[in-house]
């Protein structure tokens, strides 16, 4: 009877001391008893070479942002990225010309090459575009744009009804007005005026440029007889009737 008391019951025995059991093989899947050595081997295999900062479940959870749907979150993020096998791959290694063609900027660049920069620059005369009708400047008012601009005269305050105006704005200003006639083939007058370099200065009067087709009103053709308001013929002149 005393010997029976020293034995553990078969149903839910309670062991004391340091009981040992055989260590199951690493691939054990049955009902063998898992001892401390077996458990440590499995944990070591699970952790592997993971750094100490990630060798616990809590550390892993923290690293994943405690996101229970971490896999879905990553999948959605990847779905929003540019595919490397499409556009980015197509752009990779392209020359500047190739990139321009790929994004469709060739036409825009070609048009910009012939455009006048907004800040102004030297420009060929055949590229000077009209600004449309420009009201005449009066008093001390000067042009707001520096450099050379072209505008149109059409009943808007100039000494002739129709024409084109070239305005040169620098330290001082100047304007050249080339008129045109509403009669086919007829000449039209041209004018010029200036404005000095002080803010309180006014524009000069328009000065007409005379030509053989638009002579001064008091001019007389060379070789033509000149009327003499007298009954007596001056010495050296012949009387022509």
What tokens appear for 117 in the block?
């920069």
What is the DSSP secondary structure assignment for residue 214, as one 8-state letter?
B
pLDDT at 154: 92
Max CA separation in the chain (angstroms): 184
Going from the first residue of the chain to its last (241 residues), give the mean pLDDT of each consecutive group of 10, the final group possibly shorter: 70 81 84 83 73 72 83 83 64 74 76 66 66 90 86 92 93 94 91 93 94 83 72 73 64
C-beta atoms surrounding 49 within 10 Å: 5
CB contact burial 170-207 (16+ within 10 A = b; e otherwise): eeebbbebbbbeeeeeeebbbbebebeeeeeeebeeee
Q: What span, in angstroms and rounded, lies between the C-alpha atoms of 69 and 66?
A: 9
Query: Which SS3 state, helix, strand or coil, does residue 182 take?
Result: coil
**pLDDT for residue 240:** 67
**What is the pLDDT, as a whole number, of residue 165?**
94
DSSP H helical ranges for the chain:
2-5, 36-47, 57-63, 70-79, 87-91, 96-102, 106-113
**Helix, strand or coil for residue 40?**
helix
Task: Tell me how crowded residue 134 is: count the other CB atoms within 10 A of its CB.
Answer: 21
Which pLDDT score, from 0 to 100, does residue 28 have? Answer: 84
> So what's the pLDDT on residue 80?
73
Supply the pTM of this predicted model: 0.44
Domain assignments of the chain as residue spans, ordered by start: 83-115, 129-209
Instruction: Quote the pLDDT of residue 123.
Output: 58
Characterize the bridge pairing of strands 173-179 and 162-169: antiparallel
Residue 166, pLDDT score? 94
Give one word for 135, left, alpha or beta, with left for phi > 0 and alpha for psi -120 to 50.
beta
């Amino acid at each position: 009877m005393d010997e029976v008391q020293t034995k553990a019951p078969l149903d839910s025995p309670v062991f004391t001391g340091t009981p040992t059991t055989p260590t199951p093989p690493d691939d054990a899947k049955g009902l063998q008893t898992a001892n401390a050595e077996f458990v440590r081997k499995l944990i070591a295999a699970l952790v592997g070479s993971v750094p100490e900062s990630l060798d616990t479940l809590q550390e892993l959870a923290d690293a994943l942002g405690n996101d229970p749907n971490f896999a879905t979150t990553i999948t959605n993020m990847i779905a929003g990225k540019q595919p490397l096998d499409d556009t980015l791959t197509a752009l990779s290694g392209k020359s500047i010309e190739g990139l321009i063609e790929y994004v469709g900027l060739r036409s825009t660049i070609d048009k910009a090459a012939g455009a006048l920069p907004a800040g102004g620059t030297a420009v060929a005369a055949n590229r000077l575009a009209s600004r449309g009708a420009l009201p005449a400047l009066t008093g001390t008012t000067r042009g707001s744009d520096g450099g050379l601009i072209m505008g149109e005269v059409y009943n808007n305050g100039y000494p002739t009804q129709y024409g084109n105006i070239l305005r040169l704005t620098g330290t001082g200003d100047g304007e050249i007005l080339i008129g045109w006639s509403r009669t086919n083939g007829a000449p039209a007058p041209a004018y010029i005026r200036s404005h000095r370099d002080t803010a309180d200065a006014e524009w000069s009067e328009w000065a007409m440029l005379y030509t053989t087709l638009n002579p001064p009103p008091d001019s007389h053709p060379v070789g033509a007889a000149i009327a003499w308001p007298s009954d007596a013929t001056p010495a050296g002149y012949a009387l022509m009737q």
